[in-house]
Amino acid sequence: MISVYLESVRDALYPRRSGVLTKRSKYIRIEPLRPYTKDEIRTLRLRLHLSVGLFAELLGVSTKTVEAWESGHNEPSGPALRLMNMIQRYPDVLTESHAVYVTR
């Protein structure tokens, strides 16, 4: 599924024009981060069939951090929030990128 979008992303990031890609050039627009509630985080994790520990490892944060998000004590931000936005929209990116795979 990722390969379907690869050409579009490549065209957006590397337009066939001369010059350097900057915010001023406005060739692409970065989607704003959508915040997640504690229930949405838990729902996403359960939809992926991941334990708190595996979800934390996937996002590169500690188990305590995910527990704090799901209890409502803290809110995710930055890279973890961007990853959750991407995973929510394209869950198969986890297996295609080999971030999640089954071992026997």
Query: What is the SS3 string spanning 34-54?
Result: CCCCHHHHHHHHHHCCCCHHH
pLDDT of res. 28? 64
Pick the residue with more confidence: 45 or 20?
A: 45
Q: Is the pLDDT of residue 11 over 90?
A: no
What confidence tier does 19 reach under pLDDT thresholds 50, 70, 90? low
Give the model confidence (pLDDT) of 70-103 as tens digits: 999 999 989 999 999 999 998 888 878 777 777 7
pLDDT of res. 102? 72
Give the model confidence (pLDDT) of 32-65 as tens digits: 888 999 999 999 999 999 999 999 999 999 999 9
Domains and CATH numbers, the chain: 2-96 (1.10.260.40)
pLDDT of res. 22? 62
Contacts of 34 (CB under 8 A, 6+ apart): 81, 85
Give the dihedral sign, CA 18/10/57/90.
positive
* DSSP letter, residue 31: P
